[in-house]
Amino acid sequence: MLKIAILSDSHLGFGFGTERAEDAFNNFELAVKTAMKEEPQPQLILLAGDIFHDKIPRQETLGRAIELLTRTNKMIKSRPQVLRKVKNGKEEIVKDFIPPVIAIWGTHEKRHPDSTNPVQILEKAGLLYCLHAESILVECGYDRIGIHGISGIPDVYVKDSLKSWNPKPFTETNNIMLIHQNFRELLPQVEHALVLSDLPKDFITFCGHIHHTAQFVHPVSKKPIIFTGSTVSTQLSKSESEKSKGVYMIEFGREKYDIKFLPIRTRPFYFETLDAGFKKPIEILLEINRIIEKIEKNHFFVENEKPIIKIKIEGKLAEGFRVEDLNLSSIMKDHLQKFIISIDKSNLVSSDAEQHSVLLAEIRDKKLSIDEIG
C-alpha cells in the first residue's frame, strides 16, 4: 500500500509584519501533522506550487521554511528512490535517493529562466525534489509511483508548453501529475486559461493555484482532477470562506485507489456582501455594524484567534454622496480588539458617477476648445 499526501499554496511569508504573519507557517505545519496522523503514514508529500508568497522571500521567511521542511522530512519514515527520469524528451535510468517531499513551483515563485527561485533553493538544500516539465518513477519500499510535474507558467504560454512537454505515463504503475495554473471551469474570466480537456488524460492530476478545493474528472479518461486549495486564506474571496482548508490523501491498493480530504482548523473567516441600495454613508455604516455584531453574537471565540471579516459593498450611494464620504476608520477602531476586518469598496459607486462619465464622453466627442469646455 502506498499513501501520498498532497497540499498546495501554503504562501509562506504571507502577512509579514501583520497580526496574520504566523498563519501560513502554522497552517502548513498543521496540514503536515494532520497527514502524518494517518495510519499508515504517507510515504511521500507532494506540494503543488506557491510554497512561498514572494519570488524573493525575506531571509526570515526562508529560514522558517527550512525549519519546517527539515521537521517534515524527519516525520516521514520512507527513503524514496528515483529509478527513471524523463526530461527534455530523454529518459535516464538512475538510482538516486531523494527527500520524501516532491514539489513544483507556482506563479508566486516563478522568476526568469537564468535565476534561482526559492523552491530551487530548498532543493539545493536537500529538503525536497523539484519538478519542472519532468517525469520520475519513484520507488518507496515495495511500491512504485510515476510523478509528473510542470511548474507555474504564464497563461499565454501554458498550452504550448504542455504540448511540447507531452508527458507519457509509466506503464507499470499509477501516475500522478502536479500542475499550477488557471482553469476556465473555475475562473472563466481569465484569458488563455486552460480547460480540463487540455490536460493529458492518463494521469490522476492535482492542481495548485486555485485557492478553494474542487473535484472534477477528465472529460475523456474520467481520471480524477483535484484542486487541492490553499492552506491559508490570502485572497479573502467568498469561495475561501465557504470551503475548508486542508490536505488531500491518496492511497493506492493493488487494484484501486482512494482519495480523501482532511480538513484543518484555520483562522475563522466570514465573507458578507452588502448592497448600498442608494443609502447614505451613515446608513451603510450602521448596516456594517449590524453585520459585525451578528457575527460576534454567533461566533465561539478562541483565545488569541481573531476571526477575519470581509465585507464587500456593491451598488450605488444616495444621490449627492461620493465613495470618499464613506469613512470606515471608526468601524475598524471599534472592532480592532476582536476581529481582523477588511472592507472592499471597489464595486461601490456614487449615483452621479454615471452622469459625470456621460458628460465627459460628450465633451470628448464634441472636441470642444479649452474655452468651450470651461
Sign, CA dihedral 227-183-23-129, equals positive
The whole-number pLDDT of residue 359 equals 54
Q: Model confidence over 279-293: pLDDT tens digits? A: 999 999 999 999 999
Under 8 Å between Cβ of 190 and 144: no
- Please state the pTM of the whole predicted model: 0.90
Q: How confident is the model at residue 1 (pLDDT cuts 50, 70, 90)?
A: confident
The CA distance from 269 to 289, in Å, is: 17
Q: Model confidence over 18-74: pLDDT tens digits? A: 999 999 999 999 999 999 999 999 999 999 999 999 999 999 999 999 999 999 999
Task: Examine the pLDDT at 314 and tell me if it is beyond 90.
Answer: yes
Under 8 Å between Cβ of 261 and 31: no
The whole-number pLDDT of residue 363 equals 63
Q: Model confidence over 114-158: pLDDT tens digits? A: 899 999 999 999 999 999 999 999 999 899 999 999 999 999 999
Question: How remote is the C-alpha of 354 from its chain's centroid?
Answer: 36
3-state secondary structure of 360: helix
The pairing of beta strand 44-48 with beta strand 257-263: unpaired
The whole-number pLDDT of residue 114 equals 84
The whole-number pLDDT of residue 172 equals 86
- What percent of the chain clears pLDDT 90, i.e. is strictly above it? 87
Q: Model confidence over 215-269: pLDDT tens digits? A: 999 999 999 999 999 999 999 999 999 999 999 999 998 789 999 999 999 999 9
Poorest-pLDDT segment among 95-99, 245-249, 358-362? 358-362
The whole-number pLDDT of residue 184 equals 95
